Structure 1
Amino acid sequence: MTEIDEKTRTELEAAAFRRLVSHLRARTDVQNIDLMNLAGFCRNCLSNWYLDAAKERDLPLTREESREIVYGMPYEAWKAAHQSEASPEQKAAFPGPGGH
């Protein structure tokens, strides 16, 4: 495996994160429940992980702000524009409480 210094590794991870967020913003057709059912995480999870990282560094970020970073807009606006009602099949496959 190629030896990568810590600074470069952090920069590569940040670039991958930004690309993932950009991809999720573009794929508004993919519902969070689909992500949860297939991958075990969703946009909300990603925003929560971002918030956790901010809290570990004592940064004053709110849940709403971390969601806006991931969604590219306020969460409620994204839901109104892009979220659809989950199908019975999607609901049946959802891991439920604790599955997040």
Structure 2
Amino acid sequence: MQEEKQEKIEAAVFRRLLAHLDENKQVQNIELMNLANFCRNCLAKWYSAEAKQLDVEIDYDQAREVIYGMPYSEWKDKYQQAATPEQLAQFEQKNKSK
């Protein structure tokens, strides 16, 4: 496969992932972390880091706005729920083994 086509496919998949996450705002970051060991914030960190590798300055807050589709503070106010004690315990247990 040509590198250009591969990059186009990968970009389309990334946009689709963001759309899927946007359509499923009820899925909380703690749930993503507990199940898949990454969340929307991780995506933002990766986005910012990859931009830096290409000499593009995108800070973490700018990257979160790309990932969340709005300023993070707005998303948090509208959609973020408090983690349950069970979710926090699972998260802590997972991170103990690292």
Q: What is the TM-score of this pair, normalised by structure 1?
A: 0.91
Instruction: Indicate the residue corresponding to 1:41 in structure 2.
Output: 38
List, as ranges, runs of 4+ consecutive aligned residues in structure 1 with deviation greater than 3 Å.
none
Match of 2:29 among 28, 32, 43: 32
CA RMSD of aligned residues (A): 1.6
Q: What is the TM-score of this pair, normalised by structure 2?
A: 0.92
C-alpha displacement of 1:31: 0.1
C-alpha displacement of 1:96: 4.2
Q: Is it true that 1:76 corresponds to 2:59 in the alignment?
A: no
Q: Sequence identity, in percent?
A: 48
The size of the alignment, in residue pairs, is 96
More displaced stretch, 9-18 vs 57-66? 57-66
C-alpha displacement of 1:58: 1.2
Q: Secondary structure at the match of 2:43?
A: helix
List gaps (5 residues or longer) in structure 2: none
Alignment of 1:1-100 (within 5 A): 4-94=1-91, 95-96=94-95
Mapped to 1, the partners of 2:70 and 2:89 lie a distance apart of 29
List gaps (5 residues or longer) in structure 1: none
